[in-house]
A and B are shown apart, each in its own frame.
Chain A
Amino acid sequence: MSWPSRRARTFPHGVHPPEEKQFARDVPIEVVPTPAAVAIPLLQHLGAPCQAVVASRATVALGDVVGRAEAPVSAPVHASIAGVVQRESVATLPNGRHVTTVPIKAAGEQLEGQALYDAHFGGDWPLAGLDEIAPAEIVAAAGEAGLVGMGGAAFPTHVKLAPGPRRPVDTVLVNGCECEPYLTADERLMREAALPVLVGAKLVARAVGAKRIVVGIEANKPEAIAEMRRLAPELGIEVGVVATKYPQGAEKQLVYALLQRIVPGGKLPLDVGVVVSNVATAAALARAVLRGAPLTHRVMTVAGHGVREPKNLLVPIGLRLSEAIEAAGGLTDDAARVIAGGPMMGFSVAYLDAPVTKGTSGLTVLAARDLDAEPERACVRCGRCVDVCPMGLLPTRIALAARYGEWELAGSYHARLCVECGCCAFACPSRLPLVQLIRVAKARLAKMTA
């Protein structure tokens, strides 16, 4: 199939995994009680870790800076509860990285319950005057609030919002696709807090100088679409319904679906005049700019057959994953796999002591019956992976090259362009670990060119 295909509102290829949104889509966001302690990782984003600026035993209030960003591509971290700082420790994040954390033991008065919810989503969101805020002011507020992309990649927002004059941006896409199965945090946010999302989108556009704003939502979220459509026209924002297909929320696929623009290989949406921002990031930006509040909490889904009461939770950053699971009723007896994020791109977790980070969109807990018992077999070269790859690659070829350590061959099959969405391994009838093998090839290739 040749690119571009002129089928609007979606992208070529992709897969249709079971949606599994029924677990928590109709469960309102619930505020978790203040935990006894949190552990704030000093690296939660793409880029350099930040430096701890609080000493052990210091008293911190909610929102105090705990780690300062010193590198240009980095983001500060803040206390997500009021309390006393403990000795620095190390945690293993779900992606396998070991990071330094600053533990905080809860002490003193806490902002919690409905008050915390209202501080995030309630109250007034002034629509007038948004256009008077200076772009530099928005970028600075995003930087100080420690904003990062909350859809998963966790790229520092202030870097994204300051693209520089060389690359003009005409359109902001707000990503409300949430194409990962099980996850419903973004959907709940759009249904319960559409206004901060839209105000945030307006601020993103103001910062990058874009005229047009489009919110992209998958067709399987009619309530969210209705709510956004109710409020968006007032702010001059369009709502674009896109097909329910995985990975619709991947940047390049969303840009293509909504704008029919193709991001060149190895480039960013910025190179075709687009900035893509997740709905949760937009809401956090609105909070940062209009309320001066740093990113201390996020909404995450805990869902699947492996938890007793699937929920969407407003959690403090640094909360232990096990506590998030407890807040959702705990694991069932047949819980078999805990995944940080959705089941397609998420990482399975070995230690439930790991902290929630700014990029943790949810926990998918699968029961034994959800796991695939099919054995791995030899590749039968059926080409299903080729048929579904949204980047138009030959996944089985890259994986085979990786198996034999032929890194340059893997590179000649464009391994670098793989976005690790997992469509190939999802569709593979021989159950080959294609994504894993391609990741190895990508890592080797990155080392070779570095």
Chain B
Amino acid sequence: MTAEPVRIAPAPALHVAPGPHLTVSDFTARRMMADVLLALLPVAGVAVWIFRWYAVLQIAVCVAAALLAEALFSRLRRRRAPLDDLSAAVTGAILGLSLPWSAPWYVGAIGAFAAIGLGKAAFGGLGQNIFNPAMVGRAFVMVAFAASLAGGAYVRAEAALPILTQATPLSLAKGTAGAVALPGLWPLFLGNVNGSLGETSALACLVGGLYLCWRRSAAWQIPVWTLAGAAAAAVVANLLDPATPLTVLHHLFAGALFFCAFFIATDPVTSPLSPRGRAVFGFGVGVLVVLIRTLSSYPEGVVFAILLMNSVTPLINRGTVPKPFGGAVELPGGAK
């Protein structure tokens, strides 16, 4: 059977769509994620410089496992795997950078599966999750592999790199009461200390973070207020316990505070919408980090500070609805 090919008049097809018919060209959800990956480059670079192939391996395992998990869980949900939106890669990279160099490969892999599965897919995928996926994964392995991730796990006496034989700064402060030789502020700022892969250099986090804020892929209010909250809480902690070896600047530059402020707290999905909400959120994260550091048995408090503030984000959103330009409409009968 030979049918005549259907001929369609060559009139130009006019698209019809709701306005606006222009969109900002250099800002897409995918580009936001790509920006995060780009901004993580200095952080990852410092990690590789300090921890050598430990860092390469850890980050690679986490990113690969996160992508695999995204593909797998999308299949389970019968959805096309949105690997091209890069959000799984971001989750994997942040998780990898939040782990110690010494964690065995399967810790990162399992953490990535927990991050994507429990943290994201279970809620319905990108944009639907309540908790920061990377921090869900980090909390999961923190509990499941407590020994591999405790402060002591960062230190190996027999390690080839001398830096790996030192305790992390915050563990030092926690472990021995009284006189301890904390690293100076300068090495803390530059990152030449032991710790989780991405947290050691405040400078690298600052460089990447400023790029993110300049691109508006991260809301600048969050890092500013996170650091302000931590500084405020550290001042109070110093006043209450003048003997502590951790000064305000130690609190700011040691541990994962800068990494948290610029890369973790700024996850748009799990942080508030309005500028005022972001300020409240950031301040809360900062205060909680220092609170957990000083009062709990953990040397560092980023994971739980983030998860706790994530849990109150809907509440913050509700309480910080901006006042419209010109105020609300008054309707007869007091209805809104």
Q: Which residues of A contact B (CB under 8 A)?
A: 1-3, 11-12, 15, 17-18, 181, 252, 256, 262-267, 331, 333-339, 343-350, 352, 364, 366, 370-372, 374, 377-384, 386-387, 390-394, 396-397, 408, 411-414, 416-417, 422, 425-431, 433, 435-436, 439, 449
Contacts and interface: CB of A to CB of B under 8 A. Distances in A.
A383 B19 contact: no
A31 B29 CA distance: 46
Nearest to A253: B325
B19 A417 contact: no
Contacts of A266: 329-331
B91 to A, nearest CB: 13
Interface of B: 12-25, 27-32, 82, 85, 125-128, 216-217, 219, 268-269, 271-275, 278, 321-331, 335-336
Given A336-B12, A383-B268, A417 B274 contact: no
Given A381-B269, A429-B31, A430-B29, A346 B327 contact: no
A435 B19 contact: yes
A338 B28 contact: no
A335 B12 CA distance: 7
A337 B19 contact: no
Given A1-B275, A392-B324, A379 B31 contact: no
24 contacts: A181-B22, A333-B12, A334-B12, A336-B14, A344-B22, A348-B14, A348-B15, A348-B21, A349-B16, A371-B15, A371-B21, A377-B85, A378-B29, A381-B268, A382-B219, A383-B274, A384-B27, A386-B274, A408-B336, A425-B23, A426-B24, A427-B23, A430-B29, A436-B18
Given A262-B326, A344-B21, 5 more contacts: A256-B325, A331-B12, A350-B16, A380-B127, A411-B336
Nearest to A421: B20
Contact of B15 (A337, A346, A392): A337
B53 to A, nearest CB: 34
Max count, chain A CB within 10 A of own CB: residue among B21, B219, B335: B21
B242 to A, nearest CB: 38
A263 to B, nearest CB: 5
B331 A449 contact: yes
A36 B62 CA distance: 71
Q: Which one of B20, B268, B329 has the greatest number of beta carbons of chain A within 10 Å?
A: B20
A322 B285 CA distance: 59
Contacts of B327: 264-265
B329 A414 contact: yes
Nearest to B327: A265
Nearest to A181: B22
B325 A343 contact: no
Contacts of A265: 324-330
Contact of A348 (B12, B16, B28): B16
Nearest to A391: B325
Contacts of A337: 14-17, 21
Nearest to A428: B23
A266 to B, nearest CB: 3
A448 to B, nearest CB: 9
B18 A412 contact: no
Nearest to B277: A383
A11 B322 CA distance: 16
Contacts of A267: 326
A265 B24 CA distance: 28
B29 A435 contact: no
The 3 closest A-B pairs by CB, nearest first: A422-B20, A378-B127, A266-B329
Contacts of B17: 337, 348
A175 B229 CA distance: 46
A370 B127 CA distance: 28
B127 to A, nearest CB: 3
Contacts of A346: 19, 21
A417 B323 CA distance: 11
B325 A394 contact: no
Contacts of A408: 336
Contact of B325 (A12, A352, A387, A436): A12
Q: Which residue, of A384, A412, A416, has the highest number of chain B Cβ atoms within 10 A?
A: A384
Contacts of A2: 323
Contact of B273 (A372, A397, A425): A397
Given A336-B15, A382-B268, A383-B278, A18 B322 contact: no
Contacts of A431: 23, 28
Nearest to B329: A266
Contacts of A425: 19-20, 23
Contacts of B272: 383
Question: Most B CB atoms within 10 A — which of A345, A378, A379, A412?
Answer: A378
Contacts of A343: 19-22
A353 B175 CA distance: 81
Contacts of B23: 372, 374, 425-428, 431
A339 B19 contact: yes
A352 B15 CA distance: 12
Contacts of B29: 377-378, 380, 429-430
A4 B31 CA distance: 33
B28 A417 contact: no
B273 A383 contact: yes
B85 A392 contact: no
Given A252-B326, A364-B21, A429 B28 contact: yes
Given A262-B326, A383-B219, A377 B275 contact: no
A2 B322 CA distance: 8
B269 A429 contact: no
B127 A427 contact: no
Given A265-B327, A343-B19, A347-B19, A338 B126 contact: no
Which among A338, A343, A384, A429 has the highest number of chain B CB atoms within 10 Å? A429
A347 B25 CA distance: 21
A26 B86 CA distance: 45
A41 B336 CA distance: 37
Nearest to A416: B329
Contacts of A345: 19-20
A324 to B, nearest CB: 15
Contacts of A383: 219, 268, 272-275, 278
A386 B28 CA distance: 16
A12 B128 CA distance: 30
Contacts of A15: 24
Contacts of B278: 383
